[in-house]
Structure 1
Amino acid sequence: MTEGIEVRRSIEALWRIESARIVGALTRYTGDFALAEDVAQEALAEALVNWPREGVPRDPVAWLLTTGRRRAIDVFRTRSAERDRLPGLAPADVTSDEAGEVDDDVLALMFTACHPVLSREAQVALTLRVVGGLTSDEIARAFLTPTATVQARITRAKKTLAAARVPFEVPQADELGTRLGSVLSVVYVIFTEGSSASSGDALIRFDLAREARRLCRVLARLMPAEHEVHSLLALMELTAARFPARTDADGEPVLLEDQDRRLWDASAIRRGRAALASATRIGRGLGFYGLQAAIAECHAVAPSVAETDWERIVVLYEALGRLAPSPVVELNRAVAVSMARGPAEALAIVDTLADVDGLARSHQLAGVRGELLIRLGRTAEARTELERAVELCANDRERTILRRKLTTL
């Protein structure tokens, strides 16, 4: 029984890392995005049944690809209108090396999922599913949206792509600009889920964060004149630089003020600052990702929490709020205000967000409000807020921090 559980965990970990390449390779093979995603899921389901019983194959990615291709051939054989395509299909047995045969399979997959025939919400949800390997529940939490809504978007998106016969390819140069915004948004959300997991027993999903950075580096090489590509890369590098200090040896979260900054990745900080400098040089002022990268840079270069330029961070959040108004931005601005000017002024900002739909159901609002109330000495109210935050929080590690704060009260 224990061995079976371990195998299942191994399969889930493999899928997190390799699902995008598998779906991308199957899409290139079949020419049918929706079919590729379906047969990939069937291959995964078969692995979950067979591998605990028969053992993990020597080349698990090749096994999944082979199984997916065989399922695709079975589907084509049942479609009378598709029979002419069978002679053009390659043999079903493959090696895992074939998944990397076309280096930009995942990038092509993203642009396909972000095709203009889809709504923005559908683009993001579908790409998170097939590229990020996220479940519908995780996507829903990321967007503060009901799970049923996300599932409906994914289903409609796949049907729309099939009906529109969207090709599996990276767009030509003259089309890239118009499609880039959606792709950057998806990469950003994948990284956000990786850097602060919305659920589960891990604070950081390194595989998702790593994949998002890899995709952004590909984009930076493909579109070197796009300042927001460099800005997003800067944001991710500067944020990922702090990963080594964000958890202890047991995987428990370490708050910013308690982190050993000597563990921060100096190379990632240098890469992030260089990318931000490129964005500044290329662009006409910082945009949505650039402003966030500048905030991350303030943290990365500060010797300590006390010596951080909190006033600059407040100004950057104000600019970000004017450019892209969001209750989450306001909540983060409130945290910065609390550090720069005290908890009372910050609490006034937080209280204006109490009735915002979506955010009111987030543990983050209750957690921040509870922390501010602690600093103001309003212990009973703080306890109520922190208890609510624990109840709403879906991540096991974050709940540990919240419970620890409750214990100190």
Structure 2
Amino acid sequence: MSETVAPDEDLLRRLTPVVLRILVRRGADFASAEDAVQEALLEAWRAWPASAPQDPKGWLVTVAWRKFLDATRAESARRKREEVVHAAPPAGRAAEADDSLWLYFLCAHPSLTPSSAVALTLRAVGGLTTRQIAEAYLVPESTMAQRISRAKRTVADVRLGETGSVTTVLRTLYLVFNEGYAGDVDLASEALRLTRGLAAAVRHPEVDGLLALMLLHLARRPARFGRDGRLVPLTEQDRSLWDTRAIAEGVAILQAALARDELGEYQAQAAIAALHADAPAASETDWVQIVEWYDELVRLTDSPVARLNRAVAVGEADGARAGLAALAELDESLPRHAAVAAHLTEKDGDRAGAARLYALAADRATSIPERDHLIRRAARLGAGG
């Protein structure tokens, strides 16, 4: 045993999917294995500060397997599972990569709701506790525990060939990323970590596209809020605060993905983010090329949100009237429709109309920072400022 140290939370998170899949390979069903791994993690938090193991993975596997066996009531079932242990292959690096990949796809099973897939991914692959996930999603821990339990029951008998698709896995990771930050878990950074793991395990241009998109968005995060907590729009951000290293990495990953000539929605979104990142100032943004990428994104997804963002880009590239014409083709009930209409109306010179639309958009805002920002816009125009 080594000297006394506190548990390494990042290490525990990385080992969670590895240990879980080892238990499943040994014959444990997924739900029971996941429970046993969580108990082993709790045991690690209790025991490691006093006596940290030299082989953390081996320690977790041993404790989790013992927890699983202790929870297995029938002696015959226990003997059967223990027989499987001797036939199980060793857990080398390739097996560990396969284990993590299997879990990604299992947690994105098509029979799960998006919220359940996200919760199960964060717990089984991300190694987060139920409490951490509940706090991040601002729901009671008991509610999140029930959601995770239902998800585990749903996938209890799923085999590798029946798991979800890459598309579903990416959608799940993107949902995690878009939750941003809440509680003591930075979900955007957690989604980036998980996507890096997926990219290391599977070669797929859309996996790389999503990884690039996350890097490019997170690179701008230091400038998104002022010191007073106010939301700062992209065009007004201090670009010297952007993380140039993350931008360079994201652009390099994107270029390699695009070179494979298998364009997908995440690569298209990343290309748009890269064009924003490439502009030294908002006035130097290549809006014409951004409109072209939005055209590709609409072709790929036919997403109303993509069409809404395209209207903004058209307004910048071809003038406010062109943007308003593009916006007129969309359903006014779309989230942020009123905010886009307000921006384009202000750009067109109708200050009174823009003020009314900003006020309407504030009423429909889904976050406090966004609402406050829209209220300030409405007040500025209403006051003639």
Q: Please say if residues 188 and 212 of structure 1, whose CA atoms lie closer than 8 Å, have aligned partners that are also in contact.
A: no
- TM-score, length-normalised on structure 2? 0.69
Matching residue of 1:266: 244
Matching residue of 1:214: 196
Q: Please say if residues 216 and 232 of structure 1, whose CA atoms lie closer than 8 Å, have aligned partners that are also in contact.
A: no
Q: How far apart, in 2, do the equivalents of 1:160 and 1:383 lie?
A: 44
Matching residue of 2:373: 401
Q: How far apart, in 2, do the equivalents of 1:366 and 1:85 lie?
A: 62
Which of structures 1 and 2 has the bigger CA Rg?
2
Structure 2 gap ranges (5+): 1-6, 86-94
Q: How far apart, in 2, do the equivalents of 1:365 and 1:19 lie?
A: 39
**What does residue range 51-200 of structure 1 map to in structure 2 within 5 Å?**
72-76=68-72, 78-79=73-74, 82-84=77-79, 87=82, 102=96, 105-114=99-108, 118=111, 124-125=117-118, 127-130=120-123, 131=125, 157-164=151-158, 166=159, 179-194=165-180, 197=181, 200=182
Shift of 1:58: 6.3
Matched residue type, 1:193: E
Query: Which residue of 280, 302, 307 maps to 1:325?
Result: 302
Query: Which residue of 322, 343, 346 maps to 2:323?
Result: 346
Shift of 1:214: 1.9
Matching residue of 1:227: 205
Q: How far apart, in 1, do the equivalents of 2:362 and 2:285 lie?
A: 30
Shift of 1:110: 0.5
Q: Deviations over 1:99-148 (max 9, x none)?
A: xx946654332033245x7468588446545345585898899xxxxxxx
Shift of 1:329: 0.9
Q: Does 1:26 align with 2:16?
A: no
Matched residue type, 2:32: L
Shift of 1:294: 1.5
Q: Please say if residues 235 and 293 of structure 1, whose CA atoms lie closer than 8 Å, have aligned partners that are also in contact.
A: yes
Q: How far apart, in 2, do the equivalents of 1:41 and 1:248 lie?
A: 39
- TM-score, length-normalised on structure 1? 0.66
Q: Please say if residues 254 and 271 of structure 2, whose CA atoms lie closer than 8 Å, have aligned partners that are also in contact.
A: yes
Shift of 1:371: 3.4
Matching residue of 1:35: 32
- When residues 312 and 383 of structure 1 are mapped into structure 2, their CA distance, relative to the original with a 3 A threshold, is closer
Matching residue of 2:278: 301
Q: How far apart, in 2, do the equivalents of 1:389 and 1:322 lie?
A: 28
Q: Deviations over 1:196-226 (max 9, x none)?
A: x5xx47997453243144224414xx42xx3
- When residues 139 and 283 of structure 1 are mapped into structure 2, their CA distance, relative to the original with a 3 A threshold, is farther
Root-mean-square deviation over aligned CA pairs = 4.8
Query: Which residue of 270, 276, 289 maps to 2:254?
Result: 276
Q: Please say if residues 118 and 157 of structure 1, whose CA atoms lie closer than 8 Å, have aligned partners that are also in contact.
A: no
Q: Does 1:386 align with 2:364?
A: no
Report % sequence identity.
34
- When residues 326 and 162 of structure 1 are mapped into structure 2, their CA distance, relative to the original with a 3 A threshold, is same
- When residues 277 and 380 of structure 1 are mapped into structure 2, their CA distance, relative to the original with a 3 A threshold, is closer
Q: Deviations over 1:53-86 (max 9, x none)?
A: x999669998x9698666534432x356632256
Q: How far apart, in 2, do the equivalents of 1:202 and 1:374 lie?
A: 39
Of structures 1 and 2, the one with the larger relative CO (CA 8 A, separation 6+) is 1
Matching residue of 1:288: 265
Matching residue of 1:336: 313
How many residue pairs get aligned? The number is 352
Matched residue type, 1:371: H
Structure 1 gap ranges (5+): 1-10, 91-100, 142-149
Q: How far apart, in 1, do the equivalents of 2:346 and 2:229 lie?
A: 26
